[in-house]
Amino acid sequence: MRRFVFTICLIIIGVIFLQAQKRVSEELYISINQSKQFVSIRSKDAVNNPVLLFLHGGPGASATVLFQKINKELQNDFTVVCWDQRGAGNSFSKKMDKSKLTVPQMIDDAHMLIEYLSSRFNKEKIYLIGHSWGARLGMYLVRMYPERIAGYIGVGQEVDAFEGELQSWQYAFEQAKKSNNKKAIADLEEMGQPQNGNYLTMYKTGFWGTVKQKEWLLKLGGERYGRTNYNDWIGKMLTGYNFNIFQLVKWSKASATTAGTMFHDSAFNTFNLRKDIAIVKVPVHFVSGAADYNTPWPLVKQYAELLTAPSKSFTLFDKSGHSPLFEQPQEFNNLVRDKFLTK
């Protein structure tokens, strides 16, 4: 009897040990192309679950805390990896080489991270989710490294620098006139319609013109569904794991510095995916919000229709703006499982 009980205890201990080995919850720094970059990895079963890499937007606007908190249930089905890209979030440093904040460097960094994840978790391919700028980065990776990518979801997909910014300005101006917002009308008229994606008349650089236009877009309902600020997300970030007011200050500085620097990279402002990436070898899916005129959803829908891919889809979330993954998380999580796990 004692031997039987002892055997059962050993079995139970073994099961607990194996389960512990499968669970992963860690934050670490990885050396990527001579740069120390922050990665968060969480999974209920890192042995069997496929790897899912999230590419945040901005550039420079890490969404690691939000994704790991709001979309937490994906950790049941995937090994969820959130990466603070070079110059973003915990990867930001005052001493960093700003000359490395370029589109080609970001692509190479992402490729190196994919290779690391594939090797560590013994996966030939991984899944990608990209948001906003991260969605454009994701499409570059899909085009260049299809052998490493099992599937891709672009959220708030960037499509065309010139046409996207023009449609965004036009929407904001139309809403300003409808609401008779005289200050918005004056600002938008002063900056004028963007020329080749840039605003040339209101501020010293096109970057700050873009920032001002996006401020009005948010206030006029073209960025979020039913909200004109980000206070709720800031609250969620401040109650997230290992994040505080000091981290928020660093997050803000990283976002402004990296976006401001990359804006002057010619490759950042001249893209047109309709011409640049018309054919891919990976299943791709696009998700937009009906209130998204940051990356205007009609343009994303058009791109999805034009693109040639093994399989593709476009989904419009009715109660979302630029960030359906955070505005309608349950619907988004269900879509991820459906697109990536359903055979």
CA atoms within 13 A on the CB side of 94: 1
Options 1.20.20.10, 3.20.20.70, 3.80.30.20, 3.40.50.1820; CATH of 23-162+226-341: 3.40.50.1820
CA atoms within 13 A on the CB side of 174: 9
How much is the pLDDT for 15? 38
Q: What is the pLDDT of residues 81-98, one digit of tens each?
A: 999 999 999 999 988 999
Give the residue ranges of the chain where pLDDT is below 70: 1-21, 196-198, 200-208, 343
Q: Which residues pair with 284 in a beta bridge?
A: 152, 312
| CB-CB contact of 41 with 13 (8 Å) | no
Q: What is the pLDDT of residues 122-148, one digit of tens each?
A: 999 999 999 999 999 999 999 999 999
How much is the pLDDT for 113? 98
How much is the pLDDT for 190? 85
| Residue 128 φ/ψ, nearest 5 degrees | -125, 140
Q: Where are the domains of the chain?
A: 23-162+226-341
Nearest to 248 by CA among 264, 231, 229: 231
Residues 34 and 31: their CA atoms lie apart, in Å, by 6
Residues 128 and 230: their CA atoms lie apart, in Å, by 25
| Burial classification of residue 318, based on how many CB atoms lie within 10 Å of its CB (0-12 exposed, 13-18 middle, 19 or more buried) | exposed
| CB-CB contact of 75 with 69 (8 Å) | no
How much is the pLDDT for 7? 47
Residues 150 and 161: their CA atoms lie apart, in Å, by 27
How much is the pLDDT for 342? 83
Model-level pTM?
A: 0.90
